[in-house]
Chain A
Amino acid sequence: MSKSRAWDADRALTLIKERESLPGALLPILHALQDEFGYIDKAAVPLIAGVLNLSHAEVHGTISFYHDFRHSPAGKHVLKMCRAEACQSMGCENTIRHVENKLGVRLGQTTDDRSFTVDAVYCLGNCALSPAVMLDGKLYGRVSREVADFLIDSAQRHA
């Protein structure tokens, strides 16, 4: 479950400056910002660019390149569903369709009540226990429709 705080430019600048001397500091900075705020606010771009002496375009281009970095906050729970080959061979597409119908969203979307974001991922390294999903950073294997229901319902109960 995400425990992100609201965007705060001072806090962001502190996080950026703590990491500015790392070689190749941009990714560690972006991860730190996303860990803190749940997404990377547009306002972070000039702050990062200023500290690292990069152009806004370089920073924006890096953020937009990587699937992980969000431009707006995710739902309270993030469910990443693997749809790579090993999981396909065990019917992940049925589980995915089931979850999409249950929550009324498509992969890549957040529910209207902002309780769940459901994302596609390509391999969680749990290919001998397919289908696999990751819910709020925790890995689950052999995720049938029933297991998916259980995971979603339990997360909602503990919301």
Chain B
Amino acid sequence: MSVKIYVPCDAAAVSVGADAVARSIAEEIAARRLNATLVRNGSRGMFWLEPLVEVETPQGRIAYGPVSVDSVAGLFDAGFLEGKAHALQLGPTEEIPFLKRQERLTFARCGITDPLSLSDYVSHGGYRGLERALKLMPETIVEEVTNSGLRGRGGAGFPTGIKWRTVLNTPADQKYIVCNADEGDSGTYADRMIMEGDPFVLIEGMTIAGIAVDATSGYIYVRSEYPHAFRTLRHAIAIAYEKGYLGESVAGSGKRFDLDVRMGAGAYICGEETSLLESLEGKRGQIRFKPPLPAISGLFGKPTVINNVISLATVPIILDKGGEYYKNFGMGRSRGTLTIQLAGNIKHGGLVEKAFGLSLRDAIYDFGGGTASGRPLRAVQVGGPLGAYFPESLLDTPLDYEAFAERKGMLGHGGIVVFDDTVDLAHQARFAMEFCAVESCGKCTPCRVGSTRGVEVIDKIIADQERSRNLELLDDLCEVLTDGSLCALGGLIPFPVQSAIRHFPEDFHKPAPANGSGQVSGKVSNKVEETRPWH
């Protein structure tokens, strides 16, 4: 039997050479006339080990990594096709502690299968959720999702079942399922991984959603920074149509579900659901007033379920194993698993799917191994650019929506960005305002104008110009942003700014730097450099 060798096709693995390694392995197989097949799988999510090459042996899959092109010939010489020893050998993949201690439900197949093999998908439990859903009444499907306790994994944590129920109960000639794949927050890549590593699970989740609320059409809105994910989804959707899992009769049920993937155009704000809908309609991605909720009047004015990638990709396992099964993971009102994404200055960066409740400290140290630089950790930003900066003393916070909210933080989507002691939190606060200025859709004045004023005020604080007065002014400005912005961008940008001031006040009271604040140039930097007095 032909030996299978796995080399990930995930964009992150490719970004450190997986394609070149795969080519080199294919050449060695040909040159040595070996009976081996190369499979391009998704990533296991252990990025410090990428490119992670696995070989299927009678003892299970054996991992080697990080593999470079230079080490490929040596691996063959050492007999890695039989799983033999080599300096890069990591043992059985499933026994690697980082992976072994996880609870992979949504990511059960990611990294194991060929993402574009429907037969791999089905033989690893795929489409069992849809099969069950097709036997249930729509109300029962919605009930199952509600009972699972699943909350929106895009960051807001709104109960998914409640959104679905609203759409189900709103009569209309046309309803839509929209997947928010505009994963724009720094420190997050779980959506990208699942779209590239197990795209059928997202397609299945959306199909189940369509059947549950009587929507016959769906769109996946992918950000343009993710060309690999876009191509994989395109391909997977074509396969699903060809095999009858999409189209006029889903899996022979007589129920229709059509799916298309659309590309964003580099606007962070389109991750906000109403902006995304505007963008899908072909307009400027400006946010909408709510109400009406998208569940009542969403895409093209029709009732629309709009969910994040991970939320929708979790639906198949909930339908397959039952809401009760899923609910048994987690703590408090945070049920199921969280896809923790370890990012930034971290030794073992990667994806950790684990029941809610793990502490931030355990995620960073037990899984992540501490900082990549080896220097002491100083700050952690959880939940993306709108999340708070936490100091060391808050690391015992459990990963739970409510626990984070109690500490004026935001769990969001579970992206964790680690900073060592070289970080300057005044600089980070300035960046938050600058980012808001670049990405504001312009609808609300506090966000559109206030963000630029925020950069200016922080520059004055850094430059030691009337520091205490400007700190007070910044506080006022944050209050205006919080109260006067319609969406989370303007409304939450005070989180990183104020948490930086609260937990790291010393960074706002340093002597003024000799020559400016040392910012990287950019469109907005140029704009905000023309300092104007703020009255």
Q: In whole angstroms, how far apart are the Cα atoms of A108 and B280 in the complex? A: 26
Determine the chain A residues whose CB is within 8 A of the CB of B428 once the complex forms: 85, 88
Counting contact residues on chain A (CB < 8 A from B), the size range is 35 or more
Q: How far is the CB of A37 from chain B (nearest CB, A)?
A: 15
Q: In whole angstroms, how far apart are the Cα atoms of A27 and B50 in the complex? A: 35
**Set B187, B342, B420, B522: member contacting A107, Cβ < 8 A:** B522
Q: Decide if A93 is an interface residue (CB 8 Å cutoff).
A: yes
Determine the chain B residues whose CB is within 8 A of the CB of A66 once the complex forms: 264-267, 285
Residue with the highest number of chain A CB atoms closer than 10 Å, among B48, B183, B262, B344: B344
Q: Which residue of B lies closest to A94 (CB)?
A: B520
Complex contact A128–B266 (CB within 8 A): no
Among B34-42, B222-230, B234-242, B404-412, the stretch in contact with A: B222-230
Which residues in chain B, 291-347, are within 8 Å of chain A measured between CB atoms? 300, 341-346
Which residues in chain A, 36-68, are within 8 Å of chain B measured between CB atoms? 52, 58, 61-62, 65-68
The 8 A CB mask of B369-390 against A (1 = contact, 0 = none) is: 0001000000001000100000
Q: How far is the CB of A39 from chain B (nearest CB, A)?
A: 13
Complex contact A68–B266 (CB within 8 A): yes
Q: In whole angstroms, how far apart are the Cα atoms of A127 and B431 in the complex? A: 17
Q: Decide if A7 is an interface residue (CB 8 Å cutoff).
A: no
Determine the chain A residues whose CB is within 8 A of the CB of B344 once the complex forms: 85-87, 89-90, 127, 130
Q: Decide if A122 is an interface residue (CB 8 Å cutoff).
A: yes
Complex contact B520–A83 (CB within 8 A): yes
Q: In whole angstroms, how far apart are the Cα atoms of A42 and B141 in the complex? A: 50
Q: In whole angstroms, how far apart are the Cα atoms of A27 and B284 in the complex? A: 10
Q: In whole angstroms, how far apart are the Cα atoms of A155 and B417 in the complex? A: 31
The 8 A CB mask of B244-264 against A (1 = contact, 0 = none) is: 000000000000000000111
Complex contact B285–A65 (CB within 8 A): yes
Q: In whole angstroms, how far apart are the Cα atoms of A87 and B184 in the complex? A: 14
Knowing A62-B283, A139-B14 are in contact, say whether A125-B192 is a contact too (CB < 8 A).
yes
- Provide a sorted-by-A list of 16 A–B residue pairs whose CB atoms are within 8 angstroms: A24-B280, A24-B281, A24-B300, A25-B282, A52-B282, A65-B441, A66-B266, A86-B417, A89-B420, A120-B523, A125-B11, A125-B191, A128-B343, A129-B12, A130-B343, A134-B225
Q: Which residue of A lies closest to B48 (CB)?
A: A128
Between A and B, how many residue pairs show CB distances below 8 Å?
171
Determine the chain A residues whose CB is within 8 A of the CB of B228 once the complex forms: 139
Knowing A25-B282, A62-B284, A139-B14 are in contact, say whether A127-B343 is a contact too (CB < 8 A).
yes
Q: How far is the CB of A108 from chain B (nearest CB, A)?
A: 5
Complex contact B185–A123 (CB within 8 A): yes
Determine the chain A residues whose CB is within 8 A of the CB of B11 once the complex forms: 125-126, 139
The 8 A CB mask of B69-96 against A (1 = contact, 0 = none) is: 0000000000000000000000000000
**Set A23, A25, A90: member contacting B300, Cβ < 8 A:** A23
Known: A85-B428, A89-B419. 6 other contacts (CB 8 A): A27-B265, A65-B286, A66-B267, A85-B431, A86-B186, A126-B189
Knowing A66-B265, A66-B267, A88-B431 are in contact, say whether A125-B521 is a contact too (CB < 8 A).
no
Complex contact B282–A26 (CB within 8 A): yes
Complex contact A139–B12 (CB within 8 A): yes
